[in-house]
Amino acid sequence: MYFELFSQMKKQLGQLGKWLDTAAAHAKAKPFDPNLYLNFRLAPDQLPFVRQVQIGCDAVKLAASRLSGKPAPSHPDTEQTLEELSARVRSTVEYLDTFTAKDFESAAGRVISHPRWEGKVMSGADYFLENAVPNFYFHLTTAYALLRHNGVNLGKADYLGSLSLRAP
């Protein structure tokens, strides 16, 4: 289910790209500087919008790289405009586009290390479920909440994207 979950996260990163477009249009209509979004926070000791988007992108990018062994493109977290943030999202989606199910065949058994784990490791399976997927959704939803809190007109359908519905 690795590839399927990565495909789902990729789809939702595409939705994030659309939210940024909606946010830009909202700023233009009010009007206010669209780059103001980057520093909005829900609490003074919470990371700002720009970091939520960057970390959300990296959560899925680095997970795909660690679980496949395929090098990830570098993103030095230098975005200073909403447009640059959109480009960051697109670049992450393009990297995820390069994967197939075969890339994750040995994902579960890999040994994953992380700068924050003080020398300890996790299995690929544990890392994916306990860290990568929850972290991705955390930052994605926090970015969504920040836009909603600041008046951007988004709803649950914008979060989920299209569903594979069919006739019964």
- 149 forms part of the interface with a second copy (CB under 8 A): yes
- 102 forms part of the interface with a second copy (CB under 8 A): no
- 72 forms part of the interface with a second copy (CB under 8 A): no
CB 25 within 8 A of CB 119: no
For residue 159 the two structure tokens come to 């979060």
Write down the least CB distance from residue 36 to a second copy, Å.
Answer: 17
| Alpha-carbon separation of residue 156 from 103, 141, 153, 159 (angstroms) | 31, 11, 11, 5
Binding to a second copy in span 12-41, by CB under 8 A: 12
Q: 4, 14, 26, 115: which one contacts a second copy (CB under 8 A)?
A: 4
Place of tokens 């795909």: 64
Cis ω before 168 (30° cut-off from 0)? no
Write down the least CB distance from residue 152 to a second copy, Å.
Answer: 9
- 120 forms part of the interface with a second copy (CB under 8 A): yes
- 101 forms part of the interface with a second copy (CB under 8 A): no
For residue 12 the two structure tokens come to 């939702």
Q: Mark 36-65 with x for binding to a second copy (rule: CB under 8 A) and - for no binding.
A: ------xx--x-------------------
- 156 forms part of the interface with a second copy (CB under 8 A): yes
Nearest CA-CA partner of 147 in 15, 8, 11: 15
- DSSP 3-state of 123: strand
Closer to a second copy at the Cβ: 74 or 97?
97
Q: Which helix (H) or strand (E) holds 19?
A: helix 2-29
Q: Which helix (H) or strand (E) holds 144?
A: helix 133-149
Interacting residue ranges for a second copy, rule: CB under 8 A: 1, 4-5, 8, 11-12, 42-43, 46, 111, 113, 117, 119-123, 125-126, 129-131, 133-135, 137-138, 141-142, 144-145, 148-149, 151, 156, 159-161, 163-168
